[in-house]
Chains A and B, each alone.
Chain A
Amino acid sequence: MNVLTLALAILLLIAGAWAVVARSAFAAVSGFIVCGLLLAVVWLILGAPDVALTEAAIGGGLTGALLFGACGVLQDSSTVRNSRSVSLRIAGALLSLLVACGLGAAFLLLPEPAPGLGGEVRSSMAATGLENPVTAVLLTFRAWDTLLEKVVVLLALVGVWSFAPDSLWAGRPGVRYRLDPHVIFLAQVLCPIGIVVGVYLFWVGASAPGGAFQCATIFAALWVLVTMAGLADPLPVGRLVVRIAVVAGAVVFSGIGVAGFFWAGAFLAYPVEFAKPLILLIEAALTLSVAFTLGLLVAGSPARGEEP
């Protein structure tokens, strides 16, 4: 372990501790985001660029944006004190420490070489038509987990929407942003670049780190940016097109999964000759749904009527 890695680990611990002990909610969220970004660098050093991409996009970026949104909803977040008592905080810290020590012990006690299914994944890769083992695991060998993950994201959105009062259900989420020349300029320059990067991540997912989730996060971020520039208003959540976009991923995924019974003999199994196109179709539907869902999560629960 070299000095830089050690410094990074110490910084990570400091950022994590800061997120827990910071007095104001705003400061705590800032610590959390820094922690997520440092963690992404750590994953990169550990040779897991797929995890690093997801951590930076979801852990640092999206969750951070959601938490900042929550700070904004709480009136004057800079003065919101963490009201938990000291003893509760100490109990929480001890519990976290226990989990960390348990994980560390489990990791250090692993036999050498560590047990795993890496070899089996590599030997079965040819059947999937993919070259990136991470994508192969996510969309074929453990497709069931990925499907459930998408359903969880969908449930989270339903949870956010359910905060809307009855009269505004199916209305437009969040506030209407005023046109702001600076943000408009940023959106105009960033959108073309973001679209290229997003599509690239989507396509390269078959053979290198990338994939539907990373691409969808970038698209969702662009959508949020365009909304914040005041150029677009989020669609009312009652619109059929919004509903279809949000469920498309899970529907296509489980539809192809059920079809697997007939053409390959098992749920979520693909016929070998069509594996690659089917995976691409699922990924495209997932990208659409995840991008919409993440964008709508950031926009929040319906807060205005149907009218603009």
Chain B
Amino acid sequence: MNLLLDGFTVLLVAAGGFFFLAGTVGLLRFPDTLTRLHALTKADNLGLGLVVLGLALQAGSLWEVGKLLLVWFLVLLSSATVSQLMAQRAHLRSREK
């Protein structure tokens, strides 16, 4: 049972790491602000979500799982808000040009 849990953890965290890597490559390679934001928020949301899921399997108590999920939720919320603001700004600037 433990081996199975460990296996799932490795799989999920590795998948999360892959999304972070892809997000970073996107941030560096994509041509404009909106596409870069897309890459970045994907990494935040999915990558962190997978890492949190993987770690939750190792948590000692339900409290710990709750705290991990709260971290994910807060990052989701702030990254969504910040990317909205940045996108708004980029949109306004592109219209000015």
* Chain A interface residues toward B at CB < 8 A: 180, 182-183, 185-186, 189-190, 193
What are the residues of chain A within 8 A of B81 when measuring CB–CB?
Answer: 182-183, 185-186
Give me 16 A-to-B residue pairs in the complex whose CB atoms sit less than 8 angstroms apart, sorted by A's number. Answer: A180-B85, A182-B81, A182-B84, A182-B85, A183-B81, A183-B85, A185-B81, A186-B77, A186-B78, A186-B81, A189-B77, A190-B74, A190-B77, A190-B78, A193-B70, A193-B74
Give the CA-CA distance A181 to B45 in the complex, in Å: 21
A185 to B85, CA, bound (A): 13
Question: Within the assembled complex, what's the spacing in Å between the Cα atoms of A35 and B17?
Answer: 21
Range of interface residues on B (Cβ < 8 Å): under 10
In the complex, what distance in Å separates the CA atom of A186 from the CA atom of B85? 12
- Interface positions of B (Cβ within 8 A of A): 70, 74, 77-78, 81, 84-85
**B97 CB, nearest partner CB in chain A, Å:** 15
How far apart are B49's CB and chain A's nearest CB, in angstroms?
18
B73 CB to nearest A CB, Å: 9
A279→B70 CA distance, assembly (Å): 32
Closest 5 A-B residue pairs measured CB to CB? A186-B81, A182-B84, A182-B81, A189-B77, A186-B77
In the assembled complex, the Cα of A182 lies from the Cα of B77 at a distance in Å of: 10
Residues of B within 8 A of A185 (CB): 81
CB B96 to nearest CB in A, in angstroms, measures 13
Contact residues in B for A190 (Cβ distance below 8 Å): 74, 77-78
Docked Cα-Cα span, A187 to B78, in Å, equals 10
A188 to chain B minimum Cβ distance, whole angstroms, is 10
